[in-house]
Structure 1
Amino acid sequence: MLIAHLSDPHVRPDGELYQGVVDSNAQFAAAIAHVNALDPRPDLVLLSGDLVDHGQADEYAMLTRLLASLDVPVLAIPGNHDEREAFRRAFAGHSWLPAQGPIDYAVGDRGPVRVVAVDVTLPGLHHGAMSEEGAAWLDRVLAAEPSRPTIVMMHQPPFDTGIPYMDPYSCREGQRLSAVLARHKQVERLLCGHVHRVMQLRFGGTTLCTAPSTTTTIALQLRPDARPASYIEPSAMLLHHWQEGTGLITHFVPIGTFPGPYPFA
């Protein structure tokens, strides 16, 4: 099973640039075209939040136009830049979408790997939180299929990255999430967005992996007095490949056209 993982496209209204600098719409369109051209084509696409930049109706209209060209089924969660009800309207008709409340759901009919989405966003705030109710829901859902390989997807990562201008906006109460995951050994990955960088660490007895943004890369600055900064680096995505007997392999995939292929390896 192949699962493409895109994150943080920050789609803007038609003709407007992200932060007045970056054509995030064109970059997301290029990412979609890249997914469509993969051979073999992925079975599923995950979108781990911040699909639009300001939660506006015209941004979601643009997102819908862009996603119409995607030839692969999609699962999505909101991020702190999304607006939950506008998100719900944009994905109306998708069977996985809950009718009300947080965008929490589980999908297990797309292949051998089950996907559990957890909405940790807090409307109007940039940080997230793992609530007692959310942790209890996740515990029940994971307990329902204890032997099924599973991916858990959320937006804000539940740890401090060391980047001082990102850590105030992490997912708080991460110890609740860690305790739940530690009870469920079938969880192959905890996937997050939000930080516009690839990071990996052990968390809750599994591997946590954050996705790059299709739009910008947040600067890796570890000094406590560092000021917010980003770069326009090549867009990228993750590709998660499940193989029976091996498990889940995660690949970093730059998006674009590069010199090659050359006849050597």
Structure 2
Amino acid sequence: MLIAHLSDLHLYTQRSETGQAPRDICLVVERIARDLLSLAPRPDLVVISGDLADGGTEEDYRQIRELLEPLPMPVLAVPGNHDRREAMRCVLGERLAGLQEGEFLHSRVDMSGVTLLGLDSVVAGRPEGALCGKRLDWLERELEKTQPLVFLVMHHPPFSTGNPHWDAYSLIEGRERFTAIIDASPKRILCGHIHQPLHIHWGAHYGAIAGSPAFQYHLVPGSTAAPTESQVSYSYPLHYCQPDGSVLVHLRHIM
């Protein structure tokens, strides 16, 4: 099974909320979609770990839907802090795989020995993330029955990034209970938000942050300085899940 991990597209049609996403970001996302279609074999699933939009208007999500339309595989996506739940559900709800009903934009997909759970970690109007009791209760219930390999998809990293600036804007509520809930067996945690690729062994778990095709940062491990933007080529990870439970991670570069 092959899973493509995208994140932080920051697509917008009228106004960039961050002021950093390029005006031609829709063309960049279109190139990524074409690249996904060119793969042989194609991914079985595409995961997007938040900030699909850079302001979250319905018009933004309509354009995202058009760009995702050529992809024949399911797409699991969670919201990021620049997304808007209501607009995202209204426009993309039918396109997103396993999207759950309710207050939060959680998702569940089961495929070929793999369970993927998408967690909504957004705090409306705030850059940092949280998992309240309701959200953690949902996670605990969903983990009662899973496939042998479990991926958790969320926007805000629950682990330290090695940069104090970003750690203050990561998951700041619910981390202790989240850790206790998932510690029964190893999980693979796919995140975004940081705009720089990062991999970690976090206890028994594997964690990965995908970069952003909109703008990326230089993060120096251990540095206390605020990160600066970096003009580097973009790549997205492909997670190749094998029958013996091992997973290979390859980077797919977009020129």
Q: TM-score, normalised by structure 1?
A: 0.87
Question: SS of the counterpart of 1:176?
Answer: helix
Task: List per-residue Cα deviations over 1:124-157 (Å, max 9, x = no partner).
Answer: 1111012222222212211222x52111111010
Aligned to 2:102: 100
1:70 offset after TM fit, Å?
2.0
Query: Closer, same or farther in 2 for the Cα pair 1:91/1:47, shift >3 Å?
Result: same
Pairwise CA RMSD of aligned residues? 2.1
Aligned to 1:261: none
Aligned to 2:87: 86
Task: Supply the AA of the counterpart residue of 1:137.
Answer: W
Task: Give the distance between the partners of 1:21 and 1:45, measured in 2 at CA.
Answer: 23
Task: Give the distance between the partners of 2:170 and 2:21, measured in 1 at CA.
Answer: 25
Aligned to 1:128: 129
Residues 1:178 and 2:179 aligned together? yes
1:22 offset after TM fit, Å?
5.4
Aligned to 2:148: 148
Aligned to 1:255: 254
How many positions carry a matched residue from both structures? Answer: 251
Task: Supply the AA of the counterpart residue of 2:251.
Answer: F
Conservation of the 8 A alpha-carbon contact between 2:61 and 2:92? no
1:18 offset after TM fit, Å?
6.0
- Percentage of pairs with the same residue: 33
Aligned to 2:159: 159
Residues 1:47 and 2:48 aligned together? yes
Structure 1 stretch displaced more, 32-41 or 153-162: 153-162
Counting only pairs closer than 5 Å after superposition, residues 211-230 of structure 1 correspond to structure 2 as 211-221=210-220, 222-224=222-224, 226-230=225-229
1:204 offset after TM fit, Å?
4.7
Question: SS of the counterpart of 1:101?
Answer: coil
Task: Supply the AA of the counterpart residue of 1:62.
Answer: Q
Larger strand share, 1 or 2: 2
Task: Supply the AA of the counterpart residue of 1:231.
Answer: S
Conservation of the 8 A alpha-carbon contact between 1:11 and 1:18? no
1:98 offset after TM fit, Å?
2.2
Runs of 5+ in structure 1 lacking a partner?
257-265
Conservation of the 8 A alpha-carbon contact between 2:219 and 2:227? no
Task: Give the distance between the partners of 1:4 and 1:208, measured in 2 at CA.
Answer: 15
Question: SS of the counterpart of 2:137?
Answer: helix
Counting only pairs closer than 5 Å after superposition, residues 9-28 of structure 1 correspond to structure 2 as 9-13=9-13, 19=20, 21=22, 23-28=24-29
Task: Supply the AA of the counterpart residue of 2:32.
Answer: A
Conservation of the 8 A alpha-carbon contact between 1:27 and 1:235? no
Structure 1 stretch displaced more, 130-139 or 48-57: 130-139
Task: Give the distance between the partners of 1:232 and 1:66, measured in 2 at CA.
Answer: 24
Aligned to 2:5: 5
1:14 offset after TM fit, Å?
6.8
1:72 offset after TM fit, Å?
2.0
Task: Give the distance between the partners of 1:240 and 1:69, measured in 2 at CA.
Answer: 21
Structure 1 stretch displaced more, 14-23 or 170-179: 14-23
Task: Supply the AA of the counterpart residue of 1:96.
Answer: G
Query: Closer, same or farther in 2 for the Cα pair 1:40/1:170, shift >3 Å?
Result: same
Query: Closer, same or farther in 2 for the Cα pair 1:201/1:122, shift >3 Å?
Result: same
Task: Give the distance between the partners of 1:139 and 1:26, measured in 2 at CA.
Answer: 39
Query: Closer, same or farther in 2 for the Cα pair 1:210/1:194, shift >3 Å?
Result: same
Query: Closer, same or farther in 2 for the Cα pair 1:205/1:38, shift >3 Å?
Result: same
Conservation of the 8 A alpha-carbon contact between 2:15 and 2:55? no
Runs of 5+ in structure 2 lacking a partner?
none
Conservation of the 8 A alpha-carbon contact between 1:120 and 1:156? yes
Which of the pair has more CA radius of gyration? 1
Task: Give the distance between the partners of 2:178 and 2:203, measured in 1 at CA.
Answer: 7
Task: Give the distance between the partners of 1:190 and 1:227, measured in 2 at CA.
Answer: 25
Conservation of the 8 A alpha-carbon contact between 1:91 and 1:97? no
